[in-house]
């Protein structure tokens, strides 16, 4: 997995580190193959196998027949897990049934497999609309181990720094809006804070997303000097949430 230092001039990233996630990957990571990548199910097979079923499923969701839609869509995504529209529709149906855990699971898969498609963007908006407890990433002492294994927030000399991690995708409009906010924060806090970005469309980012339990984007997590996620910000809210998060992780003056 590669994690990179945020560059305020571009959304492109400067490589910071390449980390082997053997331990993390074994506990929660999984690979989601996109159409066109080696080993993926050919696109023709996906589209030829399920157009009628997807049309029927769309109709069921539109009519409010969510239980019937779930039954049909579970079969579709079991056979074609990389079908982003199927994952989206299933997530939407579960959300209407207030099964938010399953809704989040399938909406996240729609984002991952959709890679910026219309289905991925709709799934991200649906994730942003879930109850807050199902949008929130991990926080608290349990997150210290994750940052320790990744070596986050440490300079070459070993000095610990508070760290801001921005989970984004190139197609995400609210993520683009955050560019200028992060640039101003980086200018204001200088080398007191480490700023990092994680592109959720990069397959190598899936393990860190799973470990921090990131769902919609943009999600920003704020790590203290000991690597604990103290707070987070989801969506675009201007400068205030970013500045408030940074203030919470800055070391207190003696």
Give yes or no: residues 93 and 47 share one domain: yes
Q: Per the domain annotation, does 198 fall within a domain?
A: yes
Q: Per the domain annotation, does 131 fall within a domain?
A: no
Domain end residue (candidates: 114, 145, 167): 114
CATH number at residue 72: 1.25.40.10
Q: Per the domain annotation, does 123 fall within a domain?
A: no
- Look at residue 100 in the predicted model and tell me its pLDDT: 98
- Look at residue 152 in the predicted model and tell me its pLDDT: 73
8 Å CB contact between 225 and 167: no
Q: Which residues of 206-223 are buried (b: 16+ CB within 10 A; e: fewer)?
A: bbbbbbbbbbbbbbbbbb
8 Å CB contact between 233 and 219: yes
The domain in which residue 92 lies consists of: 43-114
Q: Per the domain annotation, does 38 fall within a domain?
A: no
Give yes or no: residues 152 and 85 share one domain: no
Q: Per the domain annotation, does 130 fall within a domain?
A: no
pTM above 0.85, yes or no: no
- Number of domain units in the chain: 2
Report the alpha-carbon distance of residue 148 to residue 235 in Å, rounded.
Answer: 27
HEC readout, the chain: CEEEEECCCCCCEEEEEECCCHHHHHHCCCCCCCCCCCCCCCHHHHHHHCHHHHHHHHHHHHCCCHHHHHHHHHHHHHHCCCCHHHHHHHHHHHHHCCCHHHHHHHHHHHHHHHCCCHHHHHHHHHHHCCCHHHHCCCCEHHHHHHHHHHCCCECCCCCECCEEEEEECCCCHHHHHHHHHHHHHHHHHHHHCEEEEEECCCHHHHHHHHHHCCCCCCEEEEECCCCCEEEEEECCCCHHHHHHHHHHHCCCCC
8 Å CB contact between 138 and 104: no
Which of 80, 79, 76, 83 is closest to 56 using CA atoms? 76
**Average confidence (pLDDT) per 10 residues, the chain, 254 residues:** 39 38 37 40 41 89 97 94 96 98 97 95 97 95 88 64 95 95 95 94 92 96 94 96 96 66
- Look at residue 42 in the predicted model and tell me its pLDDT: 39
- Look at residue 151 in the predicted model and tell me its pLDDT: 73
Give yes or no: residues 140 and 245 share one domain: yes
CATH number at residue 20: 3.40.30.10
Q: Per the domain annotation, does 127 fall within a domain?
A: no
Distance of CA 198 to CAs 68, 177, 192, Å?
37, 16, 20
Give yes or no: residues 16 and 86 share one domain: no
Give yes or no: residues 157 and 109 share one domain: no
8 Å CB contact between 134 and 101: yes
Give yes or no: residues 148 and 245 share one domain: yes
């Amino acid at each position: 997995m590669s994690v990179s230092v945020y560059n305020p001039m571009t959304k492109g990233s400067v490589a910071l580190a390449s980390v082997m996630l053997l331990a993390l990957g074994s506990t929660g990571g999984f690979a989601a193959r996109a159409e066109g990548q080696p080993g993926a199910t050919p696109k023709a097979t996906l589209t030829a196998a399920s157009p009628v079923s997807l049309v029927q499923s769309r109709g069921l969701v539109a009519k409010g027949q969510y239980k019937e839609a779930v039954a049909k869509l579970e079969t579709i995504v079991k056979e074609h897990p990389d079908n982003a529209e199927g994952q989206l529709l299933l997530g939407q149906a579960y959300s209407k049934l207030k099964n938010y855990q399953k809704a989040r699971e399938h909406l996240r898969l729609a984002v991952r497999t959709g890679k910026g498609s219309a289905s991925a963007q709709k799934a991200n908006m649906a994730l942003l609309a879930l109850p807050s407890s199902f949008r929130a990433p991990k926080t608290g002492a349990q997150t210290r181990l994750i940052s320790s294994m990744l070596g986050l927030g440490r300079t070459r000399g070993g000095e610990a720094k508070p760290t801001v991690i921005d989970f984004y995708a190139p197609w995400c409009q609210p993520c683009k809006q955050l560019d200028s906010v992060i640039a101003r924060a980086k200018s204001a806090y200088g080398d007191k804070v480490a700023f990092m970005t994680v592109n959720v469309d990069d397959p190598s980012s899936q393990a860190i997303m799973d470990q921090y339990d990131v769902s919609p984007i943009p999600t920003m997590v704020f790590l203290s000097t000991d690597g604990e996620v103290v707070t987070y910000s989801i969506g675009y809210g201007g400068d205030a949430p970013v500045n408030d998060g940074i203030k919470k992780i800055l070391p207190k003056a003696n």
